[in-house]
Amino acid sequence: MNERVNRSNMAALKTGLALAVFMSAAAHAHEFSGSHGTVTVDWEADNISRVLASGYGDSFGTEAWARKGLPELVEVEGRQCVQGSYFLFDVDDSFAFDIDENVRITFEFDRTRSDGFFLSYDQNVSAENLVEYVLPESDEVWQSHTVLLKRARFANRGESGTDFSLTAPDGTWFGDPEAAHKIALCDIRIERSNETLAVNAEGQLKLAVKDEHARATPVRIGLYDQTGRMPLPSGAAVTINNYEDRTKQVFLRNSHGMIPHWPHENRWFFYIDGEYGTTLPVGDYVLVVSKGPEYHRVVRNVSVNADRATAVEIELERWMDMPAAGWYSGDDHVHMTRTPNDNASISNVMAAEDVHVTNVLQMGNPYDTHFNQYAFGKNGRYRAGNHALVPGVEDPRTAVRGHTISLNIGEVFRPADRYLRYDEVFQEYRRQGGMSGFAHVAGRLFNVERGLAIDVPLGVVDFVEILQDGAIETELWYDFLNLGFKLIPMAGSDFPYLGAPGSDRNYVYVGEPFTVDAYYEALRAQRTFVSSGPLLKFTVNGMPMGSDITVSSGDTVNVSASASLNPDLEALDRLELVVHGEVVASAENASAGNTISLSHALTIHGGAWLAVRAYGAEQTIAHSAPVYVTAGAGFENPSAVPTVAQRLINKLQEFETAEADETQELEAWSVAENLGAMLTEQRVAILERAESARMVYARMLDSYGN
């Protein structure tokens, strides 16, 4: 995950928790709510109906992390100001709502406490528009700064229904946790240009979308007028559980400096269940319809007239039919609060992205949970056709030793006295029939390497999440494979924190018939590959991904592989065969069908793990689970063992002095200094398990060291 990084999950907070942990003792107490850690700020300005702040912010391209700058009221020369690191503003709807015009906003700051700010706002044609402003040097206390908001919309589409945000220079995700994280705002003045055009005539649009079997099917929709503006979706659109908001629209995020492919510059979109009706201003529109990577996208011009309803029927065409070949897709990492009444809408969202198994994760930290699920085990499953919602957890989660995921569990296990003993939690979920592993391995977030170092050699880790936010990272996974540990590659969107639902997914060979239990059995057997677009085939001596093959030293194995990519996404660039982490063969020059094939004969000495990976021309990627080949020994890489084992032993030593730093915890408002006490109480038990892990690595060094 490199830069954008999984801000993976927030959490709620105890009502009335004091902000003294983050600010001075004079800070006011706040009541936090939701996974953002939202607070109401008791500060007013003309034409602003609400002022909010949150511990973790996500609005119009802003990623705020108020590690120690939550709001407090301050008096400056007799004036009431508000000081903090992140503020959200809801423009009074009676003053401006769903407009399309330039707006000027003048902010007045206490310059002695403010160096600059980031601004993001609801713009008609741009989903993300974060801009940094530096305040000019001045010896004066008061300083005004006027900003022009081009084509402002103010349609309550931001976090918690707000319209624009201000963030202190170091209040963003990449800000320095040691910096001040403060701005002091004393006034806001909003000036409309009143250039929004009045709607003179309206007409009806009726849309019906069918799949290749002529059945109504859920899809993702983009609908844009000739200026690039997307009309607000009607009530007929599917409801999306986006953090605590229940909304009708979201947007595709800019990931790692690359825009997820979408055939329109405006990246706002919505979902429908197959049928949709709305009233629109008369005019011409561009309609975009998509349903995951296996269907061709549809882009069509549509005209809405005043004198008659415009009826549009779309019949989707498949580019590839993976279920027909026994392959079913899954997203291992989706956060949506779920009651039984939410099942239909969530299922429609995931079916619109053509995800067959959605792991809907309740998220926790040592003191709170969010995105709660109404039931676990089979009582918590929901299935509509071949699309299923399955409850799981992202929990335990700390920056001390990483964020973890457990899938297909029977019931939640959160022992307060052993919360940092991840191995015991994993063992309990395995006893229940579940699977456990580490999230955000793509990105190495939250000290995940430290957690892997202790838990993988204990034999309790099933998988690692190597593909997320459009980026793949394989180094840690390859290291453990080279030591001889089998770990399933996993992929997940981490919606709503990162990608759109299903943007990164596993494909699992289930065969027929499809059942949820069969899906997890096949996943455990590593009949899987991860993908953000390319589709893979891979066999060694005719045996599929995840297989164990025994040969004699010196024997040759035959590799057959291919990769295909929906040309509506991008061109396929190359396919590579990886052995012990090194590329030993590759193929390029995609066919007219955007497919690349590779055949290779490999001589085996000792043993090896083999896998294939494919790349699109710009951003899509896929990686298979390995095939494990042994010839009188294991599949590990003897030449890599000494360096990797010693590095992980060094990583284990960090547990002796590791501290709980609340500025590295996303839910600092909830976890705060209490995590330090928990670490102190449980450190001895952690060190005992670390010693058990060290002994595993030491034996490897004895066998393969110099």
Where residue 630 sits, what CATH number does that domain have?
Answer: 2.60.40.10
Residue 618 CA, distance from chain mean position: 20
Element (H, E) at 454: helix 448-455
Quickly list DSSP for 645-705. Answer: HHHHHHHHHGGGT----GGGSTTHHHHTTHHHHHHHHHHHHHHHHHHHHHHHHHHHHHHH-
Residues 138 and 249 in one domain: no
Residue type, 101: E
Share of the chain above pLDDT 70, in %: 95
User: Quick check: helix, strand or coil at residue 160?
Assistant: helix
Output the CA torsion 541→542→544→545 (10° steps): 30
pLDDT at 6 over 50: no
Residue 1 has pLDDT above 50, yes or no: no
Asked if 438 contacts 454 with a C-beta cutoff of 8 angstroms, the reply is no
Quick one: three-class SS letters along 377-394?
HHHHCEEECCEEEEEEEE
Return the DSSP state at 319: S
308-331 residue pLDDT tens: 999 999 999 999 999 999 999 999
Rounded average pLDDT over 149-167: 97
Tokens matching residue 672:
């705060």
Domain co-membership, 168 together with 249: no
Other beta carbons within 10 Å of 178:
10
Name the amino acid, one letter, at 150.
K
Domain shared by 118 and 212, yes or no: no
In a domain, 385, yes or no: no
Cα separation, 71 vs 41, whole angstroms: 7
Give residue 600's Cα distance to chain centre. Answer: 36
Q: Are 551 and 638 in contact (CB under 8 A)?
A: no
Q: Decide if 669 is inside a domain.
A: yes
Helix (H) or strand (E) holding 277: strand 275-281
Residue written as token pair 């002529």 = 214
Residue 419 placed within a domain: no
Task: Classify each residue of 493-531 as buried b or exposed e, where b means 16 or more C-beta atoms within 10 Å of its C-beta.
Answer: bbbbbbbbbbbbbbbbbbeeebebeebbebbbbbbbbbb
How far, CA to CA in Å, does 479 sit from each of 49, 358, 381, 580, 581? 54, 29, 35, 9, 8
**Alpha carbons 271 and 360: distance in angstroms, whole number:** 18
Identify the CATH number of the domain in which residue 261 sits: 2.60.40.1120
| pLDDT > 60? residue 21 | no
Residue 622 lies in a domain: yes
Which of 192, 215, 243 is where one domain is finished? 192
Cβ atoms of residues 353 and 502 within 8 Å? yes
DSSP readout, 545-566?
Answer: TT-EEE--TT-EEEEEEEEE--
User: 529 CB contacts (<8 Å, ≥6 apart)?
Assistant: 489, 506, 507, 536, 538, 545, 622, 623, 624, 625
Q: With a cut of 90, say whether residue 220 has pLDDT above it.
A: yes
Tell me which of 254 and 492 has the higher pLDDT.
Answer: 492
Q: Where are the beta strands (DSSP E) in 348-434?
A: 357-364, 369-370, 382-384, 387-394, 397-398, 402-407
Residue pLDDT, tens place only, 619-666: 999 999 999 999 988 999 999 999 999 999 999 999 999 999 888 898
- For range 543-566, the mean pLDDT: 97
Sign of the dihedral defined by the CA atoms of residues 610, 539, 490, 575, in that order: positive
CA 631 to chain centroid: 40
Among the residue ranges 13-17, 186-190, 493-497, the one predicted with the least confidence is: 13-17
Neighbours of 482 (CB within 10 A): 22
pLDDT band at 706 (very low <50, low <70, confident <90, very high): low
Q: Are residues 241 and 125 in the same domain?
A: no
**Same domain flag for 50 and 150:** yes
**59, 157: one domain:** yes
Q: Report the domain count for the chain.
A: 4
Q: Strand 310-315 and strand 202-210: pairing?
A: parallel
Highest mean pLDDT out of 27-31, 126-130, 405-409: 405-409
> What is the residue whose two structure tokens read 């595993």?
696
Amino acid found at 9: N
Indicate if 233 and 172 belong to the same structural domain: no
Please check whether residue 445 lies inside any domain of the structure: no
Residue 280: which domain range? 202-315
Is 87 within the bounds of a domain? yes
Query: Reduced to 3 DSSP states, what percent helix, strand and coil does the chain have, rounded to the nearest 5?
Result: 15, 40, 45
Residues in the chain: 706
Give CA–CA dist 392/463, Å, rounded. Answer: 14
Residue 502 lies in a domain: no
Higher pLDDT among residues 12 and 97, named by residue:
97
How far apart (Å, rounded) are the C-alpha atoms in residues 363 and 495? 12
Identify the band that residue 256 occupies on the pLDDT scale cut at 50, 70 and 90.
low
Segment 188-197 shows an average pLDDT of: 97
Ordered DSSP codes for 187-228: EEEEEE---PPPP--EEEEEEEEE-TTS-B--EEEEEEETTS
Q: Do 695 and 626 lie in a common domain?
A: no
Last residue of a domain, one of 621, 636, 651: 636
Pairing of strands 245-247, 240-242: antiparallel
Q: Which of 636, 653, 686 is the last residue of a domain?
A: 636
What are the residues facing 188 on neighbouring strands?
107
| Residues 157 and 213 placed together within one structural domain of the fold | no
- Same-domain status, 208 and 294: yes
Mean pLDDT of the chain, nearest integer: 93
pTM listed for this prediction:
0.94
Question: How far apart are alpha carbons 114 and 183 in whole angstroms?
Answer: 5
Closest to 610 in 3D by CA, of 620, 621, 595, 600: 600
Q: Say how many CA atoms lie within 13 Å of 520 toward its Cβ.
A: 20
| Encoded tokens for 397 | 């989660």
CA distance 173 to 479: 29
pLDDT of residue 179: 85
Phi, psi of 424 (to 5 degrees): -70, -40
∠ CA 364-58-7, rounded to 5°: 45
With bands split at pLDDT 50, 70 and 90, how would you rate the model's confidence at 19? very low
> Measured between alpha carbons, how far is 399 from 401 in angstroms, rounded to an integer?
5
Residues with Cβ < 8 Å from 511, sequence gap 6 or more?
326, 518, 522
Contact between 438 and 403 under an 8 Å Cβ cutoff? The reply is yes
Give the CATH number of the domain where residue 149 resides. 2.60.120
pLDDT digits (tens, 9 = 90+) for 340-382: 999 999 999 999 999 999 999 999 999 999 999 999 999 999 9
pLDDT digits (tens, 9 = 90+) for 46-73: 999 999 999 999 999 999 988 777 889 9
As given in the structure block, the two tokens for residue 185 are 């705002």
CA dist., res. 654 & res. 663, Å (int): 18
Within a domain: 175:
yes
Q: Tell me, yes or no, whether 653 and 686 share the same domain.
A: yes
User: CB of 7 within 8 A of CB of 65?
Assistant: yes
- The owner of tokens 């899938």 is 407
Q: Are 403 and 446 in contact (CB under 8 A)?
A: yes
- pLDDT tens by residue, 437-479: 999 999 899 999 999 999 999 999 999 999 999 999 999 999 9
Q: Does 7 have pLDDT greater than 80?
A: no
Are 130 and 155 part of one and the same domain?
yes
CA 107 from chain centre, in angstroms, equals: 33
